[in-house]
Structures are given as structure tokens and as C-alpha cells.
Amino acid sequence: MIVYGSSMAKILLIEDDAMFARIYQKKFIKDGHKVVTAKDGHQGLALMKDEQPDVVLLDIMMPELSGLEVLERISADPAKHGIPVIVLTNLDSEEEQERALELGAVAYLVKTEHHPGLVAAKVQEILAATTRGKNLPSAVPLG
């Protein structure tokens, strides 16, 4: 686990690709957020419990425990239900997207189709909705 930045919101980034992790760390830190990273699903689930993030960005294609398996475990754990999860993946599959949204993801974004600024805007939208006690934005893909 690596923790960067400080404090507008705490973002947990579960991403096994170091390059993408660095890109998003830099963007969210620049925006004033604290970023906690996990390189796999097991570590990500443990950090959800320990760190209590405000939002999670979750890759789908990871070794050992896929993002969909992480979502299944989150949906089975009442302590993690209130944490919004945004899927951020290179997997552009309608089937995977539908499954992720069924399992409770609030958005499904394909990395190659959404630059970091657009992803950050979606995170801000979700954070704003959750901090004001509003319903989360509808769980639909961007673009």
C-alpha cells in the first residue's frame, strides 16, 4: 500500500498496472485528494476495510482476484456497501460492463476512452452526490 497526498477525499485505486496507477495518483493528488493504492484485489479489499475510502477506482483485469470478483465480495459485505466503486478498465466489453453495474459499480469507464480529467470529473460528481446525501448518479457508462 502506498498513500499519497492529503485531504479533500480519500480515493482507493485498485490497479495492477503501475503506469496507470501513477497517472491517476498524480491527477488526484493535484486535485487535492489523498490516494491509497493497491496492486491487486486482495490488497484492495483489505484497504477498503482499513482505510475507509470515499470512493474506489477498480480495474477489472487483475491477477488472482479480478475486479468482478472484488465487486462480488463488496456486494456480500454490508460494511462496504456504502462505498461507491467506479470501474476503470481497458476491458471494453458490454457483458463485463453489465455485470459490474449489476454488482453495484456506479460507473464503468474504459481507460483508453476517458482521459484522466474526465475520470476525475466523474469522481468529483460521485463524491459531491455522496457528501450531500443525494442519490448517486445513475450507473451508466460515460461516452
CB 53 within 8 A of CB 29: no
Tell how far CA 131 is from the center of its chain.
17
pLDDT score at 91? 85
By the 8 A CB rule, do 66 and 34 touch? no
pLDDT at 140: 44
User: What is the pTM assigned to this prediction?
Assistant: 0.85
Region 2-131: CATH code: 3.40.50.2300
| C-beta separation of 17 from 40 below 8 A | no
Which parts of the chain sit beneath pLDDT 50? 1-7, 134-143
Provide the residue ranges of all domains of the chain, joining segments of one domain with +: 2-131
For residue 6, the model assigns a pLDDT of: 42
Residues 129 and 136 sit within 8 Å (Cβ to Cβ): yes
Angstrom distance (rounded) from CA 60 to CA 68: 6
56, β-bridge pairs:
12, 85
Block residue for cell numbers 461507491: 84
57, 11 Cβ separation under 8 angstroms: yes
pLDDT confidence of residue 129: 84
DSSP for 58-92 reads: E-S--SSS-HHHHHHHHHT-GGGTTS-EEEEES--
